[in-house]
Structure 1
Amino acid sequence: MFRYFETLPLPELTTRHQPPGDGLTGLPVIFYTDSLTTQTFTVDIRGFQVVIQATAEQFTWHTGDPTGQITTTDPGRPYPDQTIEHDYRTGTYTASLTVTWSATFTVNGSTPADVPGTTTTDGPPVTFDVRQARIVLTNPYD
Protein backbone atom coordinates (compact mmCIF):
# COMPACT_ATOMS: atom_id res chain seq x y z
CA MET A 1 0.00 0.00 0.00
CA PHE A 2 2.90 2.36 0.75
CA ARG A 3 3.98 2.25 -2.91
CA TYR A 4 0.59 3.69 -3.94
CA PHE A 5 0.63 6.24 -1.12
CA GLU A 6 4.04 7.69 -2.00
CA THR A 7 3.07 8.17 -5.66
CA LEU A 8 -0.11 10.16 -4.90
CA PRO A 9 -0.09 13.81 -6.00
CA LEU A 10 0.04 15.21 -2.46
CA PRO A 11 -0.10 19.01 -2.33
CA GLU A 12 2.94 21.20 -1.76
CA LEU A 13 1.74 23.40 1.08
CA THR A 14 2.42 27.10 0.67
CA THR A 15 4.48 28.97 3.26
CA ARG A 16 2.77 32.17 4.37
CA HIS A 17 4.53 34.79 6.47
CA GLN A 18 3.59 37.96 8.28
CA PRO A 19 4.18 40.77 8.02
CA PRO A 20 3.69 40.42 4.28
CA GLY A 21 6.65 41.69 2.30
CA ASP A 22 9.58 42.75 4.46
CA GLY A 23 10.04 42.05 8.17
CA LEU A 24 11.69 44.15 10.85
CA THR A 25 14.45 43.18 13.27
CA GLY A 26 13.05 42.96 16.78
CA LEU A 27 9.67 41.79 15.47
CA PRO A 28 9.26 38.05 14.90
CA VAL A 29 8.19 36.76 11.51
CA ILE A 30 5.02 34.68 11.77
CA PHE A 31 4.80 31.49 9.70
CA TYR A 32 1.71 29.47 8.78
CA THR A 33 0.11 27.60 5.93
CA ASP A 34 -3.51 28.00 4.92
CA SER A 35 -3.38 25.06 2.52
CA LEU A 36 -5.48 21.94 3.10
CA THR A 37 -3.83 19.52 5.52
CA THR A 38 -5.94 16.48 4.57
CA GLN A 39 -6.46 14.93 1.15
CA THR A 40 -8.64 12.01 0.06
CA PHE A 41 -7.81 9.86 -2.95
CA THR A 42 -9.83 7.04 -4.47
CA VAL A 43 -7.86 4.55 -6.55
CA ASP A 44 -8.68 1.28 -8.23
CA ILE A 45 -6.23 -1.46 -7.27
CA ARG A 46 -6.85 -4.77 -9.05
CA GLY A 47 -10.58 -4.16 -9.13
CA PHE A 48 -10.88 -3.00 -5.51
CA GLN A 49 -11.89 0.53 -4.62
CA VAL A 50 -9.25 1.84 -2.22
CA VAL A 51 -9.75 5.17 -0.44
CA ILE A 52 -6.56 6.71 0.93
CA GLN A 53 -6.91 9.53 3.47
CA ALA A 54 -3.62 11.48 3.71
CA THR A 55 -3.02 13.76 6.70
CA ALA A 56 -0.24 16.30 7.27
CA GLU A 57 1.22 15.25 10.60
CA GLN A 58 4.48 17.21 10.84
CA PHE A 59 5.54 20.62 9.57
CA THR A 60 9.20 21.52 9.21
CA TRP A 61 9.69 25.24 8.70
CA HIS A 62 13.07 25.92 7.08
CA THR A 63 13.87 29.43 8.30
CA GLY A 64 16.66 30.19 5.83
CA ASP A 65 19.07 31.34 8.53
CA PRO A 66 21.78 29.52 10.54
CA THR A 67 19.33 28.45 13.27
CA GLY A 68 18.01 25.90 10.78
CA GLN A 69 14.45 24.82 11.19
CA ILE A 70 11.37 24.63 13.41
CA THR A 71 9.52 21.31 13.53
CA THR A 72 5.93 21.23 14.77
CA THR A 73 2.69 19.30 14.50
CA ASP A 74 0.95 22.65 14.01
CA PRO A 75 0.30 24.28 10.60
CA GLY A 76 0.53 27.67 12.33
CA ARG A 77 -1.96 30.52 12.29
CA PRO A 78 -1.84 34.15 11.20
CA TYR A 79 -1.78 37.15 13.56
CA PRO A 80 -3.27 37.64 16.17
CA ASP A 81 -3.48 33.89 16.94
CA GLN A 82 0.01 33.04 15.69
CA THR A 83 1.72 29.88 16.91
CA ILE A 84 4.92 29.74 14.80
CA GLU A 85 7.34 32.67 15.09
CA HIS A 86 10.99 33.25 14.31
CA ASP A 87 13.34 36.19 15.00
CA TYR A 88 15.76 37.32 12.29
CA ARG A 89 18.69 39.66 11.97
CA THR A 90 18.90 42.13 9.09
CA GLY A 91 19.24 40.35 5.73
CA THR A 92 17.49 38.47 2.94
CA TYR A 93 16.05 35.05 3.75
CA THR A 94 14.36 32.24 1.87
CA ALA A 95 11.99 30.13 3.96
CA SER A 96 10.10 27.00 2.98
CA LEU A 97 7.95 24.23 4.40
CA THR A 98 8.43 20.46 4.30
CA VAL A 99 5.35 18.47 5.27
CA THR A 100 5.40 14.87 6.48
CA TRP A 101 2.25 12.98 5.50
CA SER A 102 0.77 9.82 6.99
CA ALA A 103 -2.29 7.99 5.72
CA THR A 104 -5.03 5.48 6.36
CA PHE A 105 -6.80 3.37 3.76
CA THR A 106 -10.01 1.42 3.30
CA VAL A 107 -10.74 -1.30 0.76
CA ASN A 108 -14.33 -1.42 -0.54
CA GLY A 109 -15.56 0.42 2.60
CA SER A 110 -13.67 -1.69 5.15
CA THR A 111 -12.46 -0.47 8.52
CA PRO A 112 -9.61 2.06 8.07
CA ALA A 113 -6.07 0.74 8.46
CA ASP A 114 -2.79 2.66 8.69
CA VAL A 115 -0.54 2.88 5.67
CA PRO A 116 2.92 1.90 6.94
CA GLY A 117 5.46 4.70 6.64
CA THR A 118 5.27 8.39 5.77
CA THR A 119 6.17 10.54 2.80
CA THR A 120 7.07 14.23 2.46
CA THR A 121 6.37 17.16 0.16
CA ASP A 122 8.33 20.40 -0.13
CA GLY A 123 6.38 23.59 -0.65
CA PRO A 124 7.53 26.52 -2.79
CA PRO A 125 10.04 28.82 -1.07
CA VAL A 126 9.28 32.40 -0.12
CA THR A 127 11.99 35.08 -0.04
CA PHE A 128 11.77 38.22 2.07
CA ASP A 129 14.01 40.92 3.53
CA VAL A 130 14.33 41.75 7.19
CA ARG A 131 15.24 45.38 7.73
CA GLN A 132 16.22 47.43 10.70
CA ALA A 133 13.93 50.36 11.45
CA ARG A 134 15.74 53.67 11.97
CA ILE A 135 14.54 56.24 14.45
CA VAL A 136 14.03 59.72 13.04
CA LEU A 137 13.39 62.54 15.50
CA THR A 138 11.22 65.36 14.24
CA ASN A 139 10.02 68.60 15.71
CA PRO A 140 6.29 68.19 16.40
CA TYR A 141 5.87 71.98 16.14
CA ASP A 142 7.04 72.27 12.52
Structure 2
Amino acid sequence: MGGGAWKRGGSSCRPTTTAVGEPVVLPTVTVEDVRRVGLPPSTANLQPAGGHVVLNVPVNVYAQAAPVTRQVEVLGFPVTIRATPEAFTWTFGDGGALGPTADPGAPYPAMSTTHTYTRPGTYPITLTTTYSAEYAIAGLPFQPVDGTVDVSAPAATVTAHEGTTVLVR
Protein backbone atom coordinates (compact mmCIF):
# COMPACT_ATOMS: atom_id res chain seq x y z
CA MET A 1 0.00 0.00 0.00
CA GLY A 2 1.09 3.53 -0.68
CA GLY A 3 1.60 6.07 2.06
CA GLY A 4 -0.64 8.84 3.23
CA ALA A 5 -3.64 9.05 5.46
CA TRP A 6 -7.20 8.60 4.27
CA LYS A 7 -9.10 11.86 3.91
CA ARG A 8 -12.79 12.48 3.71
CA GLY A 9 -13.42 12.94 -0.03
CA GLY A 10 -17.06 13.78 0.43
CA SER A 11 -20.04 12.21 1.99
CA SER A 12 -23.63 11.49 1.31
CA CYS A 13 -26.61 10.50 3.39
CA ARG A 14 -27.92 6.99 2.93
CA PRO A 15 -31.17 5.57 4.27
CA THR A 16 -29.07 3.65 6.83
CA THR A 17 -29.61 4.82 10.40
CA THR A 18 -27.90 4.22 13.71
CA ALA A 19 -29.58 2.47 16.62
CA VAL A 20 -30.86 5.83 17.85
CA GLY A 21 -32.28 6.85 14.47
CA GLU A 22 -29.50 9.26 13.42
CA PRO A 23 -28.43 9.07 9.74
CA VAL A 24 -25.04 7.44 9.11
CA VAL A 25 -22.69 9.50 6.95
CA LEU A 26 -20.61 7.23 4.72
CA PRO A 27 -17.25 8.16 3.17
CA THR A 28 -16.67 8.47 -0.57
CA VAL A 29 -13.73 6.69 -2.20
CA THR A 30 -11.81 8.84 -4.71
CA VAL A 31 -9.44 7.92 -7.51
CA GLU A 32 -6.57 9.13 -5.28
CA ASP A 33 -7.69 6.61 -2.65
CA VAL A 34 -7.56 3.83 -5.27
CA ARG A 35 -4.05 4.93 -6.29
CA ARG A 36 -2.98 4.87 -2.64
CA VAL A 37 -4.32 1.33 -2.17
CA GLY A 38 -2.25 0.28 -5.18
CA LEU A 39 -3.05 -1.74 -8.28
CA PRO A 40 -0.72 -4.21 -9.98
CA PRO A 41 0.75 -3.65 -13.43
CA SER A 42 -0.39 -5.99 -16.17
CA THR A 43 2.10 -8.57 -17.38
CA ALA A 44 3.59 -7.55 -20.75
CA ASN A 45 4.29 -10.42 -23.14
CA LEU A 46 6.36 -10.18 -26.31
CA GLN A 47 6.63 -12.60 -29.20
CA PRO A 48 9.19 -13.55 -30.19
CA ALA A 49 10.41 -13.88 -26.60
CA GLY A 50 14.04 -13.43 -25.62
CA GLY A 51 14.53 -9.75 -26.38
CA HIS A 52 15.69 -10.05 -30.00
CA VAL A 53 13.50 -9.14 -32.98
CA VAL A 54 14.03 -8.80 -36.71
CA LEU A 55 13.53 -5.54 -38.59
CA ASN A 56 10.35 -5.28 -40.66
CA VAL A 57 8.78 -8.34 -38.96
CA PRO A 58 5.84 -7.60 -36.63
CA VAL A 59 6.44 -8.10 -32.92
CA ASN A 60 3.34 -9.47 -31.18
CA VAL A 61 2.60 -7.80 -27.83
CA TYR A 62 -0.15 -8.75 -25.41
CA ALA A 63 -1.14 -7.97 -21.85
CA GLN A 64 -2.30 -10.34 -19.14
CA ALA A 65 -4.57 -8.50 -16.74
CA ALA A 66 -7.46 -9.36 -14.44
CA PRO A 67 -9.84 -7.48 -12.18
CA VAL A 68 -8.39 -6.67 -8.75
CA THR A 69 -10.22 -6.55 -5.42
CA ARG A 70 -8.88 -4.81 -2.32
CA GLN A 71 -10.34 -4.77 1.19
CA VAL A 72 -9.57 -1.64 3.24
CA GLU A 73 -11.03 0.36 6.08
CA VAL A 74 -12.01 3.99 5.53
CA LEU A 75 -13.07 6.14 8.48
CA GLY A 76 -13.99 3.01 10.40
CA PHE A 77 -16.06 1.39 7.62
CA PRO A 78 -15.08 -1.81 5.76
CA VAL A 79 -14.67 -0.96 2.07
CA THR A 80 -14.27 -3.22 -0.95
CA ILE A 81 -12.55 -1.63 -3.95
CA ARG A 82 -12.90 -3.45 -7.28
CA ALA A 83 -10.71 -2.31 -10.19
CA THR A 84 -11.10 -3.52 -13.77
CA PRO A 85 -8.53 -3.15 -16.58
CA GLU A 86 -10.23 -1.11 -19.31
CA ALA A 87 -7.47 -0.03 -21.71
CA PHE A 88 -3.87 -0.79 -22.62
CA THR A 89 -1.25 1.58 -24.04
CA TRP A 90 2.06 0.41 -25.45
CA THR A 91 5.10 2.58 -26.19
CA PHE A 92 7.82 0.96 -28.24
CA GLY A 93 10.85 3.21 -27.70
CA ASP A 94 11.25 4.14 -31.38
CA GLY A 95 8.51 6.79 -31.35
CA GLY A 96 5.78 4.25 -32.04
CA ALA A 97 2.81 3.65 -29.75
CA LEU A 98 -0.35 1.58 -29.71
CA GLY A 99 -3.48 2.56 -27.81
CA PRO A 100 -5.14 3.19 -25.62
CA THR A 101 -7.04 0.14 -26.79
CA ALA A 102 -9.50 -2.15 -25.03
CA ASP A 103 -7.82 -5.07 -26.81
CA PRO A 104 -5.18 -6.65 -24.54
CA GLY A 105 -3.90 -8.69 -27.49
CA ALA A 106 -3.33 -12.44 -27.47
CA PRO A 107 -0.59 -14.98 -28.17
CA TYR A 108 0.35 -15.95 -31.71
CA PRO A 109 -1.39 -16.49 -34.10
CA ALA A 110 -3.84 -13.74 -33.05
CA MET A 111 -1.46 -10.83 -33.83
CA SER A 112 -4.09 -8.14 -33.08
CA THR A 113 -1.60 -5.92 -31.22
CA THR A 114 1.75 -5.65 -33.00
CA HIS A 115 4.58 -3.26 -33.73
CA THR A 116 7.21 -3.38 -36.49
CA TYR A 117 10.69 -1.94 -35.98
CA THR A 118 12.29 -0.39 -39.07
CA ARG A 119 15.66 0.70 -37.63
CA PRO A 120 18.23 -1.41 -35.81
CA GLY A 121 18.71 -0.60 -32.13
CA THR A 122 17.77 -1.41 -28.57
CA TYR A 123 14.38 -0.14 -27.45
CA PRO A 124 12.36 -0.10 -24.20
CA ILE A 125 8.77 -1.34 -24.50
CA THR A 126 6.36 -0.08 -21.85
CA LEU A 127 2.81 -1.24 -21.11
CA THR A 128 0.43 1.05 -19.23
CA THR A 129 -2.89 -0.35 -18.02
CA THR A 130 -5.83 1.96 -17.34
CA TYR A 131 -8.17 0.75 -14.60
CA SER A 132 -11.70 1.88 -13.77
CA ALA A 133 -12.84 1.28 -10.20
CA GLU A 134 -15.89 0.97 -8.01
CA TYR A 135 -16.34 0.60 -4.27
CA ALA A 136 -18.82 -0.82 -1.78
CA ILE A 137 -19.04 0.26 1.85
CA ALA A 138 -20.10 -2.26 4.48
CA GLY A 139 -21.79 -4.56 1.96
CA LEU A 140 -23.90 -1.85 0.30
CA PRO A 141 -24.16 -1.78 -3.52
CA PHE A 142 -21.08 -0.83 -5.55
CA GLN A 143 -20.64 2.83 -6.51
CA PRO A 144 -18.38 4.02 -9.36
CA VAL A 145 -15.16 5.89 -8.58
CA ASP A 146 -14.81 9.05 -10.68
CA GLY A 147 -11.68 8.88 -12.87
CA THR A 148 -9.23 6.15 -13.83
CA VAL A 149 -5.87 4.90 -12.58
CA ASP A 150 -2.91 4.25 -14.91
CA VAL A 151 -0.34 1.65 -13.85
CA SER A 152 2.83 1.06 -15.89
CA ALA A 153 4.72 -2.23 -15.98
CA PRO A 154 8.53 -2.16 -15.85
CA ALA A 155 9.95 -1.65 -19.32
CA ALA A 156 11.05 -4.68 -21.33
CA THR A 157 13.99 -4.19 -23.66
CA VAL A 158 14.22 -5.52 -27.21
CA THR A 159 17.02 -5.31 -29.71
CA ALA A 160 15.99 -5.02 -33.36
CA HIS A 161 18.42 -6.68 -35.78
CA GLU A 162 18.76 -6.65 -39.53
CA GLY A 163 18.11 -10.04 -41.03
CA THR A 164 18.20 -11.92 -44.28
CA THR A 165 15.41 -14.20 -45.39
CA VAL A 166 16.58 -17.60 -46.46
CA LEU A 167 14.25 -20.21 -47.91
CA VAL A 168 15.13 -23.79 -47.23
CA ARG A 169 13.67 -26.93 -48.49
* TM-score relative to the length of structure 1: 0.87
Residue 7 of structure 1: SS of its match in structure 2?
helix
1:129, 1:78 → 2: CA distance? Answer: 20
User: Which residue matches 2:79?
Assistant: 50
Contact 1:24–1:130 (CA<8 Å) still a contact in 2?
Answer: yes
Backbone CA RMSD of aligned residues: 1.9
Aligned counterpart for 1:23 among listed residues 34, 47, 53:
53
Larger Rg: 2
Deviation at 1:58, TM superposition (A): 1.4
Residue 37 of structure 1: SS of its match in structure 2?
coil
1:46, 1:134 → 2: CA distance? Answer: 64
Contact 1:101–1:119 (CA<8 Å) still a contact in 2?
Answer: yes
Deviation at 1:137, TM superposition (A): 8.8
1:86, 1:111 → 2: CA distance? Answer: 42
Is the counterpart of residue 80 in structure 1 residue 86 in structure 2?
A: no
2:137, 2:165 → 1: CA distance? Answer: 64
Q: Label 1:84 to 1:111 Cα distance change in 2 as closer, same or farther (>3 A).
A: same
Aligned residues: 137
Aligned counterpart for 1:10 among listed residues 39, 42, 45:
39
Where do 4+ consecutive residues of structure 1 move more than 6 Å? none
1:87, 1:120 → 2: CA distance? Answer: 25
1:94, 1:12 → 2: CA distance? Answer: 16
Residue 61 of structure 2: SS of its match in structure 1?
strand
User: Which residue matches 1:99?
Assistant: 129
Contact 1:29–1:85 (CA<8 Å) still a contact in 2?
Answer: yes
2:33, 2:165 → 1: CA distance? Answer: 57
Percent of matched pairs sharing the same residue = 35
More relative contact order, 1 or 2 (CA 8 Å, 6+ apart): 1
Contact 1:14–1:124 (CA<8 Å) still a contact in 2?
Answer: no
Of 5-14 and 95-104, more deviation after overlay is shown by 5-14
- Specify the code of the residue in structure 1 equivalent to 2:98: I
User: Which residue matches 1:60?
Assistant: 89
* TM-score relative to the length of structure 2: 0.74
Deviation at 1:55, TM superposition (A): 0.9
Contact 1:17–1:32 (CA<8 Å) still a contact in 2?
Answer: yes
Q: Label 1:27 to 1:110 Cα distance change in 2 as closer, same or farther (>3 A).
A: same
User: Which residue matches 1:119?
Assistant: 149
Structure 1, unmatched stretches of 5+, are none
Structure 2, unmatched stretches of 5+, are 1-28
Residue 88 of structure 2: SS of its match in structure 1?
strand
1:43, 1:91 → 2: CA distance? Answer: 45
